[in-house]
Amino acid sequence: MARATIARSTASLAGVELATQAANSADDMQFQNNGAQLLYVDNGSGSAVNVTIPMCPDKHGRTGQKVVAVPAGEQLFIGPFDAELYNQAGYVHVDFSVSTDILVGVLSLQS
């Protein structure tokens, strides 16, 4: 199944309302990245959610993943994401341990 794409909101001096959507742990998710994006996770559930961001192989062939635990009832911004480490065909892949009562969004710091 194709990953669901998270919509981006672009920051501005006039202000911006961050667009959010329900997390999708079944198909997992992705967002376009140029290195100036922050992933927003709003955990409205009663337990922590693990957000896993896989890394691409670097020039030395090393791989890995970044895992961030978002506590129950809390919101976090995660990032920015270096394109060389995280981009997979221009997208950062994001996996959630659960998706019930989880909202996500992406804030772009530049257009």
pLDDT by 10s per residue, the chain, length 111: 699 999 999 999 999 999 999 999 998 999 999 999 999 999 999 999 999 999 998 888 888 999 999 999 999 999 999 999 999 999 999 999 999 999 999 999 976
Tell me how far CA of residue 25 lies from CA of 9, 62, 96, in angstroms: 22, 26, 5
Q: What is the pLDDT of residue 61?
A: 83
Question: What average pLDDT is seen over the chain?
Answer: 94
Scanning the chain, the segments in alpha helix (DSSP H) are: 83-86
Q: What is the largest CA-CA distance in the chain?
A: 43
- Residue 11's closest CA among 38, 47, 46, 41? 38
The residues facing 51 across adjacent strands are: 68, 96
